Amino acid sequence: MCGRVIQYRRPEEYAASLGVSCQEGSISEIPTRFNGAPGQNFLVICRDPDSQQPVFSVMQWGFIPSGADDPKIASNLVNARAESVVTEDVFRAAYRYRRCLIPVDGFYEWKKLWPVGKQPHAVGMTEGQPFTLAGLWEQWKNPDGEWLRTFTIITIQSNKFLADLSERMPLIIEPRDRERWMSEEAHPGDLLKPSQSEGMIKWLVSTLVNSPKNNDRDLLEPLPIESVRAIHEL
């Protein structure tokens, strides 16, 4: 499962770092996310339905199917399993027509530590550069007639680097595959696989990450070596 992401740069910074040519579309001001959680708004790169060009948009994390009666279903559709996005009714159309990219600076995973609970780890790239997660998006009209755009993050079986933390990880779309993922291709199935471990980095962070109410840059600071040693001795 992927339940927290890090997204703290501006659209133009992501565009420059990722080498993605994007128009900024209709982007309202959104806060930086050092501990972004479902239910919050995030920058998403999607294909504009009219121009077919990639654009930045702001969407809410938690997928609401277009025909849903109750928006609370979003809490159950924060992630979509890569193994079933082609066949599962709730995601099939979005996978075919509305694939998207979520630009991030990292994400969090939790390692189970018996009997004391779970220890959060931050995951990113060794050079500190942003990267893109695979997602699906949808539009839903609320009872007042207003449209809401929502998204889900696709997950896949963890690679060797993250297997000790979690069985699953977010699906990372490599730079060479971004354009194809955003294309009109019906089923780029060979992209639905764990990313390479090379170039990834992980480090222990404070359990303050456990609460989405905490959202500041200090959350990314590695734990002091004394704390790391204590945890490894458990």
Would residue 119 count as lying in a domain?
no
Q: Which two tokens stand for residue 146?
A: 């207003």
Q: Which of 2, 22, 46, 100 is catalytic?
A: 2
Residue 39 vs residue 112, higher pLDDT:
39
Least Cα distance to 11 among 101, 79, 127, 98 occurs for 101
Q: Which two tokens stand for residue 4?
A: 């927290």
Q: What is the DSSP secondary structure assignment for residue 171, as one 8-state letter?
A: P
Write down the mean pLDDT value for the chain: 91
Q: What is the pLDDT of residue 49?
A: 78
Q: What is the pLDDT of residue 227?
A: 58
Q: Is 46 considered catalytic here?
A: no
Domain with 81 in it: what CATH number? 3.90.1680.10
Would residue 146 count as lying in a domain?
yes
pLDDT at 179 over 80: yes
pLDDT at 22 over 70: no
Q: What is the pLDDT of residue 23?
A: 62
Q: What is the pLDDT of residue 80?
A: 98
**Residue-range definition of the domain harbouring residue 191:** 5-108+128-200
pLDDT band at 85 (very low <50, low <70, confident <90, very high): very high
Structural domain count, the chain: 1
Would residue 220 count as lying in a domain?
no
- Specify the range with the lowest mean pLDDT, choosing from 25-34, 37-46, 97-106, 182-191: 25-34
Apex CA 170: angle with CA 106 and CA 20, to 5°? Answer: 65
pLDDT at 28 over 70: no
Q: Which of 29, 109, 167, 226 is catalytic?
A: 109
pLDDT at 122 over 60: yes
Q: Is 2 considered catalytic here?
A: yes
